[in-house]
């Protein structure tokens, strides 16, 4: 058995010295104590410019995070919603992709996409997720030792979202490679060249897929985007491609990191594993606690659309504002014992799916995928333990393990 190792806590330093834009920081350190300090001392904190990058606001308390995310008039997504993009000057998909669109265009596009992501429409997909997840876990148990991150978790959400988008099975290995390197890196700080190559690869892929659906529409989300009119006009080819990119990234990366982190937390806490298996912890609250505990998307970025006072600080129009869900989900003002992993926790109003107009479109599907995984673990796995060295992704936006070798013993 290989013992799990936790990342060391960040050493004491002035708040201004901590560079939250640095992917190395998030990969190598547990920032729990830093977030607690920010919540107590400077809940609306200005991180000064450095290394040629602009400064930005850091919002760490739950109530402030909710306030910013709920108000798209004062804090717009239209310049970008990820820190790296905002610090680089803006998002080229602004006004074209759902995630970086506000107001009437956002409402119209979101309305069109709600139907294929509704519980009723997802019945067939969720059934496929259950069967596919059980098969993956059964195969992993049969092999005994696997890298749960790459051989199990990576395939569950990807299969579901690719089914929705109509991506052929033969192309899915290629899609995994591209999504895994578009916002993070498993082996060091992601380079600008590598991330752009991956993002462009995804955009090119969906450009070609959208082209084929224009010629022959099928029953999938890409065909819906190709044939649907928004505000009395068809979507442009660019809008279709950008939204396919957004759906594949949102539907794959975050859910797989929640799955990996959830299994790690269960291995580390036998009492919670027993509570899950015995039924003392029901599946629905267990899923919510996995989402709160892992918080796969660290932050959501916005730009101040007007001068505003937030938490006693004057935020100027044009300032980059980052809301950190990773801190809000451990806010002791909201959560009792926030640093304990408790599968029976209730209430559990985490912000892992964000909040407000940009609440995650795929929340129901993500919950269904996590439920399917927990069901399969309960049914098939008698014992799980670490079997090698784990590693974290390098990213200032995504949080999770890129590798988690585990030994699985079957339930008898």
Tell me the pLDDT tens digit for each residue of 174-221.
998 888 887 777 777 677 788 888 889 999 999 999 999 999 999 999
The percentage of residues in the chain with a pLDDT greater than 70, rounded to a whole number, is 98
Structure-token pair, residue 269 = 């806490």
Residue 2 pLDDT: 54
pLDDT at 236 over 90: yes
Q: Which residues pair with 56 in a beta bridge?
A: 47
Residue 371 pLDDT: 98
Mean pLDDT of 365-369: 97
Interatomic CA distance for residues 263 and 333, integer angstroms: 27
Task: List, in order of start, the domains of the chain with CATH numbers.
Answer: 15-410 (1.10.630.10)
**Confidence band, pLDDT 50/70/90 cuts, at residue 13:** confident
Residues in the chain: 412
Structure-token pair, residue 241 = 């491609």
Structure-token pair, residue 389 = 């060295």
**Confidence band, pLDDT 50/70/90 cuts, at residue 5:** low
Return mean pLDDT, the chain: 94
Interatomic CA distance for residues 239 and 222, integer angstroms: 11
Mean pLDDT of 239-258: 92
Q: Buried b / exposed e across 185-219, counting CB within 10 Å, b at 16+? A: bbeeebeeeebeebbebbbebbeebbeebeeeeee
Interatomic CA distance for residues 116 and 126, integer angstroms: 12
pLDDT at 397 over 90: yes
Contact 99, 246 (CB under 8 A): yes
pLDDT at 12 over 80: no
pLDDT in tens, 115-166: 999 999 999 999 999 999 999 999 999 999 999 999 999 999 999 999 999 9
Residue 1 pLDDT: 46
Residue 275 pLDDT: 98
Mean pLDDT of 2-26: 83
pLDDT at 293 over 90: yes
pLDDT at 3 over 60: no
Residue 232 pLDDT: 87
SS3 51: coil
Residue 270 pLDDT: 97
H/E stretch holding 303 reads strand 299-304
Q: Is the full-model pTM beyond 0.85?
A: yes
Q: Considering only CA atoms, which of 362, 337, 339 is closest in space to residue 352? A: 362
pLDDT in tens, 42-78: 999 999 999 889 999 999 999 999 999 999 999 999 9
Contact 34, 18 (CB under 8 A): yes
pLDDT in tens, 382-396: 999 999 999 999 999
Most distant pair of Cα atoms in the chain: their distance: 62
């Amino acid at each position: 058995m290989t013992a799990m190792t936790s990342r060391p806590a960040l050493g004491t330093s002035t708040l201004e010295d901590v560079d939250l834009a640095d992917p190395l920081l998030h990969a190598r350190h547990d920032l729990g104590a830093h977030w607690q300090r920010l919540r107590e001392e400077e809940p609306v904190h200005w991180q000064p410019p450095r290394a040629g990058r602009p400064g930005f606001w850091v919002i760490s308390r739950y109530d402030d995070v909710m306030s910013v995310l709920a108000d798209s008039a004062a804090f717009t997504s239209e310049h970008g919603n990820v820190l790296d993009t905002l610090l680089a000057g803006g998002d080229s998909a602004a006004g074209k992709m759902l995630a970086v669109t506000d107001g009437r265009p956002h409402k119209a596009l979101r309305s069109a996409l709600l139907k294929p992501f509704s519980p009723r429409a997802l019945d067939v997909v969720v059934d496929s997720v259950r069967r596919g997840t059980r098969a993956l876990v059964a195969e992993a148990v049969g092999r005994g030792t696997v890298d749960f991150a790459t051989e199990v978790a990576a395939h569950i959400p990807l299969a579901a979202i690719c089914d929705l988008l109509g991506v052929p099975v033969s192309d899915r290995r290629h899609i995994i490679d591209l999504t895994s390197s578009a916002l993070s890196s498993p082996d060091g700080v992601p380079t600008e060249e590598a991330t752009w190559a991956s993002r462009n690869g995804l955009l090119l892929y969906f450009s070609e897929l959208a082209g084929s659906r224009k010629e022959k529409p099928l029953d999938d989300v890409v065909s819906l985007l190709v044939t649907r009119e928004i505000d009395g006009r068809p979507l442009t080819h660019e809008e279709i491609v950008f939204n396919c990119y957004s759906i594949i990234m949102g539907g794959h990366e975050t859910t797989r990191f929640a799955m990996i982190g959830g299994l790690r937390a269960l291995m580390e806490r036998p009492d919670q594993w027993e509570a899950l298996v015995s039924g003392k912890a029901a599946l629905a609250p267990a899923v919510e606690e996995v989402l709160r505990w892992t918080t796969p998307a660290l932050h959501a970025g916005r730009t101040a659309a007007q001068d505003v006072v937030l938490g006693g600080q004057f935020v100027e129009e044009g300032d980059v504002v980052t809301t950190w869900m990773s801190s809000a989900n451990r806010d002791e003002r909201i959560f009792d014992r926030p640093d304990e992993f408790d599968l029976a926790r209730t209430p559990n109003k985490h912000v892992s799916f964000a909040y407000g107009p940009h609440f995650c479109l795929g929340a129901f599907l993500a919950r269904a995928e996590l439920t399917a995984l927990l069901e399969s673990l309960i049914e098939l796995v008698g014992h799980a333990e670490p079997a090698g060295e784990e590693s974290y992704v390098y990213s200032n936006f995504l949080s999770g393990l890129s590798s988690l070798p585990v030994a699985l013993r079957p339930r008898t």
